[in-house]
């Protein structure tokens, strides 16, 4: 059992990110048993699960940009935006929290990516929006109010939403542990870049 000042963040463990889903991560299904076991052990007094929850006409979907294909990059609100296959559409089966995990220990389920104009990788802040800033989700304040000083992060995808969540957690004043083996990337080609980014942010990587 970890102390009451440590929280677990499970990022976007949803069917659409599994093999066969709309936006499959490399071996995304491999981490489901480990995360299910971790939650069943009740080692964390505070557990947060995030859920990608997009409107059907979300601006990050390649289908909303004529002539564009998934994984191409465009400029959106002055910043680079990867275009994705339609995924995690609100209310769809692919957007549900993974059914093989008992989520009853989750104290908060945070839905992100709900603004059709703004993508949202991080649990703590949306991506850059039309005002030129990254609006806060409120998670940092919620955790601070509960006396949380350290967060452990796992889930999908290692090179996007988990990475950005870990970086923003560190910026928000938390000690951060990245549970590497309980994450998987969109592309394993990004692993070295992800490791460098974590080290630069002072984030502990747990193998």
Structure tokens at 113: 């990516």
Tell me what pLDDT residue 1 has. Answer: 87
Out of 25, 88, 154, 161, the active site residue is: 161
Write the pLDDT tens digit of every residue in 71-130.
999 999 999 999 999 999 999 999 999 999 999 999 999 999 999 999 999 999 999 999
Out of 29, 52, 88, 112, the active site residue is: 112
d(CA 104, CA 164): 25
Out of 12, 16, 52, 168, the active site residue is: 12
Percent pLDDT > 70 in the chain is 100
- For the question of residue 112 being annotated catalytic, the response is yes
DSSP letter string, 108-158: EEEEE--STT----SSSB----TTSS--B-SHHHHHHHTT--EEEEEEE-T
Given a cut of 90, whether residue 207 has pLDDT beyond it is: no
- For 6-206, CATH number out of 3.90.1150.10, 3.40.1160.10, 1.10.420.10, 3.40.50.850 equals 3.40.50.850
């Amino acid at each position: 059992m970890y102390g009451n000042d440590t929280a677990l963040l499970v990022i976007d463990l949803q069917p659409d990110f599994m093999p066969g889903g709309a936006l499959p991560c490399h071996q995304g299904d491999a981490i489901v048993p480990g995360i299910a076991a971790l939650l069943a052990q009740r080692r964390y007094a505070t557990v947060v699960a995030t859920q990608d929850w997009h409107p059907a006409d979300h601006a990050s979907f390649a289908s909303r940009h004529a002539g564009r294909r998934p994984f191409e990059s465009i400029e959106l609100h002055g910043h680079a935006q990867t275009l994705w296959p339609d995924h995690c559409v609100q209310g769809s089966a692919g957007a549900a929290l993974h059914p093989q995990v008992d989520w009853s220990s989750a104290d908060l389920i945070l839905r992100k990516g709900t603004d059709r104009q703004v993508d949202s990788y991080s649990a703590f802040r949306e991506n850059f929006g039309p005002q030129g800033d990254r609006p806060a989700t409120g998670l940092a304040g919620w955790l601070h109010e509960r006396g949380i000083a350290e967060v452990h992060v796992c889930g999908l995808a290692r090179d996007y939403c988990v990475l950005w969540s870990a970086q923003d957690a560190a910026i928000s004043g938390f000690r951060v542990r990245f549970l590497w083996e309980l994450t998987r990337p969109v592309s394993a080609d990004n692993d070295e870049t992800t490791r460098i980014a974590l080290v630069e942010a002072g984030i502990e990587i747990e193998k």
